[in-house]
Amino acid sequence: MKLIISGGGTGGHIFPAVAIANEVRRRFPDANILFVGANGRMEMTRVPEAGYEIIGLDIAGLQRSLTPKNLLFPIKVMRAVRKAGKIIEDFRPDAVVGVGGYASAPVLLAATSRGIPALIQEQNSYAGLVNKLLAKRVQRICVAYEGMDKFFPNDRLTLTGNPVRAEIAAGQRAAARAFFGLDNTRPVLLVIGGSLGARTLNQTTAAALPRLQAAGMQLLWQTGKLYFPEAQQQAAPYQADGLQALEFIRRMDLAYAAADVVVSRAGALSVSELCLTGKPSILVPSPNVAEDHQTKNALALTTQDAALLVRDTDAAATLYDEALALLQNPVQQQQLSANIRQLARPQATATIVDELLKLIPTG
């Protein structure tokens, strides 16, 4: 089997793509899998770290503000489509998968214009622009939420859930805490603002460091690259007490296993991982996303008593009151954990690959 997977930009696109690739390779060890991403974006680093080859396109999105860069956008798109076409003709894939992000548009346009079967995977409750534009060109659209027929043709939809790397729920608590140098007898809070970081969570966490230290809590704080230098300095006086600032956590399986409570943005991948790992969580939806879809993602959990919700605008005032209260309440932790596990879709990745295989001619 020869497969191209395209897209990226954030961990929310990249890690589902890697999960799909891993499942294909589990079933077909000799499968030849090629990723296509956008030069300068994080997939150009993260995909090779996962063990896959990737080719980069010179493609970026339209800027929301008026800028001369937008004048070059049509030229970049045409060049990217030509390069994607060359990649398709050289590699000759049996099928193409798009996971959203800049690079998936030219790749899927090139593939579908050549009659190659294509599938897209939409992670969010509000469909991304690229996937909406491609919907009528592909044979199958795998989604994580009900009601996505308002964005996509209903006859091409399959409700699968989001693909999550199988190892994400496999970490062991004692080994995980040893990996991060944490005390196995004291509570641990994990704070994740998404792969690129989150200003609100970083500012609020920095301000709460003295409170966490005084309460005897430990902290794994993923800051994102942009915020890390400042956060590292802020956390340095507390590191001996188990309060750590980390730019990016590659071993998320161990981070989840080490944590008693998680504070997180409500991106689709984060929500899916929290469901699979069964972690008691406080969700702080980002306000800087299309149609406020992170709030919709969070409400899918909070309406089932499967997580707590703190609005971004309320985070500075209340987030760490809520976090410390939950860290000190094992009964509530157990209730949230039991409820969130009920919402997990552990077979999502396998179902997506099943749908993909249906598109590939046999014989």
Query: How far is it, in rounded angstroms, from Cα 228 to Cα 246?
Result: 7
Tokens (6 digits) for 23: 């499942």
Q: How many other C-beta atoms lie within 10 A of the C-beta of residue 299?
A: 16
- 300 close to 271: Cβ distance less than 8 angstroms: yes
3-state SS class at 347:
coil
Find out whether 249 is annotated in a ligand binding site. yes
Find out whether 70 is annotated in a ligand binding site. no
Find out whether 264 is annotated in a ligand binding site. no
Strands of 118-122's sheet, edge to edge?
53-57, 32-38, 2-6, 95-98, 118-122, 140-143, 157-159
Find out whether 337 is annotated in a ligand binding site. no
- 222 close to 192: Cβ distance less than 8 angstroms: yes
Find out whether 349 is annotated in a ligand binding site. no
Find out whether 269 is annotated in a ligand binding site. yes
Find out whether 11 is annotated in a ligand binding site. yes
Find out whether 41 is annotated in a ligand binding site. no
Find out whether 250 is annotated in a ligand binding site. no
DSSP string, 131-192: HHHHGGGSSEEEESSTTGGGTS-GGGEEE------GGGG---HHHHHHHHT--TTS-EEEEE
Q: How many residues does the chain have?
A: 363
Find out whether 271 is annotated in a ligand binding site. yes
Find out whether 277 is annotated in a ligand binding site. no
Find out whether 124 is annotated in a ligand binding site. yes
- 108 close to 16: Cβ distance less than 8 angstroms: no
Binding site, residues? 10-12, 124, 165, 195, 249, 268-273, 294
Binding site for UDP-N-acetyl-alpha-D-glucosamine, residues? 10-12, 124, 165, 195, 249, 268-273, 294
